[in-house]
Amino acid sequence: MKIAIIGAGNLGLAIAKGILHSNGATTMYLTKRNTNSIQEFEKYGNVTVTNNNQEAVKNSDILIFAVQPGQFISILEELKDLLTEKHVIISTITGFRISKIEEIIGSDKFIIRSMPNTAISVGKSMTCICSNELGKKRVDLARAIFNRMGHTLEIPEGQMQAATVICASGVAFWMRLIRATTQGAIQLGFDAKEAQELAMHTCNGAANLLIESGSHPEEEIDKVTTPKGCTIEGLNEMEHQGLSSSLIRGIVTSFEKISEIRKG
């Protein structure tokens, strides 16, 4: 697999780490205009760091675009004449519709739109995927690439904004919940390092319980809440203070913002 990541910033580098972590590429190009900060990636023998997008495209089959939305159009213009039937174009750009990509490079290209999250760097991304008509023939390939770095779900393009909030922004939401749990643990007497260890591994365990058992969260909650015990007392107080409601409202607010950005 010859992969190029055009725009090796926060997300692009997280994807690069995930690919390296999973031995997912035979060769990998990483591009950005100022390459000083990512030069170290060349220590991996199969990685080329360059500011030359055209060189990366010519020498790769899978092109993952991870630039800011405002940078994407001019990059596609720069590269469109080099794109051939060997290329699978994978965009991670928030809010950038497939039809807009087709307007620039044509609908006769394999185009995948994806929404990974930064946990891709450790092989644990939840990545949502959709494609243009022709790209349907390459969805399985795209899923195979991202499945090596976590879990994938194919969705209609109309759900991509919602997936951005739940999965990409979601990493930040879960981090805050883990941090709050850590603060609670410190108040109960653990030092900061231990407190974070307890919080993140408990979070990991809870998620894995659901993933592996397929059960509903309330089923697992029922197993933990001893009648008249401490768990239900704590849980009910959290709900009196608006735990579920505040999460839902935050998610909806985030979605309203992303819709507003897209209109802009």
Ligand X SMILES: NC(=O)C1=CN([C@@H]2O[C@H](COP(=O)(O)OP(=O)(O)OC[C@H]3O[C@@H](n4cnc5c(N)ncnc54)[C@H](OP(=O)(O)O)[C@@H]3O)[C@@H](O)[C@H]2O)C=CC1
Ligand Y SMILES: O=C(O)[C@@H]1CCC=N1
Q: Which residues bind ligand Y (CB under 6 A)?
A: 94, 164, 168-169
Shortest Å, Cβ 79 to ligand Y: 23
Q: Which residues in 175-234 contact ligand X (CB under 6 A)?
A: none
Cβ proximity to ligand Y, 142 vs 160, nearer residue: 160
The residues with which 4 forms a beta bridge, in sequence order, are 29, 63
Nearer to ligand X, 8 or 185 (CB): 8
Of residues 172 and 238, the one with the C-beta less far from ligand X: 172
Q: Please tell me whether residue 6 binds ligand X under the rule CB under 6 A.
A: yes
User: Of 40, 34, 35, 30, nearest to 2 (Cα)?
Assistant: 30
Answer whether 109's CB lies under 8 Å from 134's CB: yes
Among 28, 30, 63, 93, contact with ligand X (rule: CB under 6 A): 93
Q: Is 18 in the site for ligand X (CB under 6 A)?
A: no
- Nearest distance in Å: CB 171, ligand X: 6
Nearer to ligand X, 3 or 168 (CB): 168
Residues 96-125, interacting with ligand X (CB under 6 A): 115-118
Task: List alpha helices for the chain, DSSP H.
Answer: 10-21, 53-58, 69-79, 98-105, 139-147, 160-163, 170-187, 192-213, 217-224, 230-240, 243-263
Q: Distance from first CA to last CA of the chain, Å, rounded?
A: 37
User: Do 118 and 15 contact (CB within 8 A), yes or no?
Assistant: no
Which partner, ligand X, ligand Y, none, binds residue 245 by CB below 5 to 8 Å per kind? none
Please provide the size of the chain in residues: 264
Considering the complex, state which of residue 6 and residue 83 has its C-beta at the smaller distance from ligand X.
6
Q: Which residues are annotated as a binding site?
A: 6-11, 53, 66-69
The answer to whether 90 and 7 have CB atoms below 8 angstroms apart is no
- Residues numbered 29 to 88 that lie near ligand X (CB under 6 A) are 31-34, 53, 66-69, 71, 75
Q: Cα separation of 61 and 87, whole Å?
A: 5
Nearer to ligand Y, 151 or 262 (CB): 262
Spatial neighbors of 117 by CB under 8 A, at least 6 apart, are 125, 126, 127, 167, 168, 170, 171
- 147 touching ligand X, by CB under 6 A: no
Q: Which of 3, 4, 5, 12 binds ligand X (CB under 6 A)?
A: 12
Distance, CA of 213 to CA of 217 (rounded, Å): 10
Q: How far is the CB of 192 from ligand Y (least distance, A)?
A: 27
Contact 258, 94 (CB under 8 A): yes
Asked if 130 touches ligand X (CB under 6 A), the answer is no
Q: Does 11 bind ligand X (CB under 6 A)?
A: yes
Side-chain-facing half-sphere of 227: CA atoms under 13 Å: 0
Give the interface with ligand X as residue ranges (CB under 6 A). Answer: 6-12, 31-34, 53, 66-69, 71, 75, 92-94, 115-118, 168
